[in-house]
Amino acid sequence: MKTAGIIAEYNPLHYGHLHLLQAVRQRFGEDTAVICAMSGDFVQRGDFALLRRYARAEAAVESGADLVLELPLPWAVSSAEGFARGGVETLTATGLLDVLAFGSECGDSAALLRCAHALERPELTPLLKAELTRGDSFAAARQRAVSALLSPADAALLSQPNNTLGIEYCRALLRTGSEAEVFTVPRHGAAHDAAVSEAGGCSASAIRTLLAEGAEADALSRMVPAMRCIYEEEKAAGRAPVFAAGCERAILSRLRSMSAAEFDVLDTGREGIGQRLYKASREPASLAAVLDAAKTKRYAYTRLRRMVLWAYLGLTPADIPAHVPYLRVLAANSRGRALLGRMRETARLPVLTKPAAVRTLDAAAQRLFALEARAADLYTLAYPELRAAVGGALWRETARML
């Protein structure tokens, strides 16, 4: 039996996600086990997840995944490189990973691996430095630098978001020395962040937009059945849908109370983006206006949104351990429980199914879990009904065994 790994957010889980789960078993056999490394309550674009972690993990298992492990917060809300590194570390630490599967615009594993190797070549550094002096975004500068090492067709893969993330997954595998096979399928349905259309599938971003605009019936029709059912349960409990707008005043309050030096701590590249965001946050009365004031050709909205989220959660770069310190189980089915049994022998990190177990770990792991718990309490404040926002839930809830 092969074990395939998928790094995901399922925010929310739609038919494109289901297509990948089905494609894995079509390619490697129906008995293939699937382990997901999934973001918790906050996601890589610098936003609140539409539904809390346990709800999305349960939907994933009911839709074909066997075991869902949490991608810890610092990696879940990092750049594509950090997100990929955390996901690959989580999956490889199980000791079971045979295949890393993901969607991409190109559907060409070999081409993505060529780009990954190019990004690891020492010759890239001077090329990238030269391109960055032109004032473009990092992504544009990197693509031009890579074009000097590869064919134009290969370098152009870096212009599309799912290709780019897939390349980062490949880089992370190379850096860990993993021998896992790379399996990618062409992205099914709508493009990443595409607007809602009648034809084809619908992106997670488009589904969230529909919900924000009040088109709930349309949005629900584009979710897979398990996700749709769980969404309705969460809504009835006052916990869905969750949007950052629910905490907008709290976020603005946090930004206005921060000093220039505190913003500088978040500017890991020392590019001046911290000071720009500090100045942009002094007067505007909406998050959108803050982001618009800070935006330049070089600084992408996603990067600015992540910095704002880090500020709200009180995260700093010092909060990111060198490596993922534990494997936290969010949900599993019977085959997932069998995987957990095997992991008693193969896992290279402690496996947590109950929050109390974290107290047996070292101080760094305990600090990370406490940070996750604090962030979860801040997340609940964006619930549609404040009565549902009871604190301390992460210390009480255990993995969903289905």
8 Å CB contact between 266 and 274: yes
Q: Rounded CA gap, 277 and 297, in Å?
A: 14
Query: How high does pLDDT run on average in the chain?
Result: 93
Q: So what's the pLDDT on residue 346? A: 98
Between helices 138-147 and 124-132, what is the axis angle to 10°?
130
Q: If pLDDT is split at 50, 70 and 90, which confidence band does 202 have?
A: confident
Q: Which residue has the tokens 């152009």?
A: 156
- β-strand 327-332 against 67-71: which pairing, if any? antiparallel
pLDDT tens for 209-268 read 999 999 999 999 999 999 999 999 999 999 999 999 999 999 999 999 999 999 999 987
Q: Is residue 299 pLDDT above 80, yes or no? A: no
Q: If pLDDT is split at 50, 70 and 90, which confidence band does 12 have?
A: very high
Q: So what's the pLDDT on residue 199? A: 46
Candidate ranges 55-59, 140-144, 153-157, 176-180; pick with highest mean pLDDT: 55-59
Q: If pLDDT is split at 50, 70 and 90, which confidence band does 272 have?
A: confident
Q: Is residue 159 pLDDT above 50, yes or no? A: yes
CA-CA-CA-CA dihedral for 23, 28, 34, 39, to nearest 10: -50
pTM: 0.94
Any alpha helices (H) in 65-121, and if so which ranges? 73-76, 80-92, 109-120
Residue 4 CA to its chain's centroid (Å): 18
